[in-house]
A = this chain, B = another copy of it.
Amino acid sequence: MNLRETDVSKRAFNFCAGPAALPTAVLQRAQAEMLDWQGKGLSVMEMSHRSDEYVAIASQAEQDLRDLLAVPNDYKVLFLQGGASQQFAEIPLNLLPEDGVADYVETGIWSKKAIEEARRYGAINVAASAKAHDYFAIPGQNDWQLSKDAAYVHYCSNETIGGLQFDWVPQVGDTPLVADMSSDILSRSLDVSQFGLIYAGAQKNIGPSGLVVVIVREDLLGRARSSCPTMLDYKISADNGSMYNTPATYSWYLSGLVFQWLKEQGGVEAMERINRAKKDLLYKAIDDSDFYSNPIAHNARSWMNVPFRLADEKLDKAFLAGADERGLLNLKGHRSVGGMRASIYNAVGMDAVEALVAYMAEFEKERA
Q: Which residues of A contact B (CB under 8 A)?
A: 1, 3-4, 7-8, 10-12, 14, 16-22, 24, 27-28, 30-32, 34-36, 39-43, 45-49, 51, 81-86, 88-90, 93, 117, 120-121, 201, 203, 208-211, 226-227, 229-232, 244-251, 254, 327, 329-330
Contacts and interface: CB of A to CB of B under 8 A. Distances in A.
B249 A19 contact: yes
Contacts of A8: 35
A12 B40 contact: yes
Say how many copies of this protein the assembly contains. Answer: 2
A95 to B, nearest CB: 14
A82 B82 contact: yes
A19 B1 contact: no
Contacts of A231: 82-83, 85-86, 88-89
A140 to B, nearest CB: 31
Given A28-B35, A85-B231, A231-B89, A250 B209 contact: yes
A90 B27 CA distance: 34
Nearest to A8: B35
Contacts of A12: 40-42
A248 B210 contact: yes
Given A203-B246, A230-B89, A19 B35 contact: no
Nearest to A7: B35
Q: 9 closest pairs, A vs B, by CB?
A: A210-B248, A12-B41, A89-B229, A85-B245, A7-B35, A31-B34, A81-B81, A86-B231, A45-B208
Nearest to A40: B12
A93 B120 CA distance: 15
Contacts of A46: 14, 16, 19-22
Nearest to A250: B208
Contacts of A82: 81-82, 86, 231
Given A19-B45, A22-B43, A230 B11 contact: no
Contacts of A246: 18-19, 83, 201, 203, 209-210
Contacts of A31: 31, 34-35
Contacts of A248: 81, 208-210, 248, 251
A47 to B, nearest CB: 6
A39 to B, nearest CB: 7
Nearest to A210: B248
24 contacts: A1-B3, A4-B35, A7-B35, A8-B35, A10-B35, A10-B39, A11-B41, A14-B46, A16-B51, A19-B249, A28-B34, A28-B35, A31-B34, A45-B254, A49-B209, A83-B245, A85-B244, A86-B229, A88-B230, A93-B229, A117-B230, A203-B246, A210-B210, A251-B251
A85 B230 contact: yes
Contact of A36 (B10, B81, B209): B10
Given A14-B41, A86-B232, A250-B251, 6 more contacts: A3-B3, A19-B249, A41-B327, A42-B329, A81-B82, A203-B246
Nearest to A254: B45
B24 A42 contact: no
A48 B330 contact: yes
A89 to B, nearest CB: 4
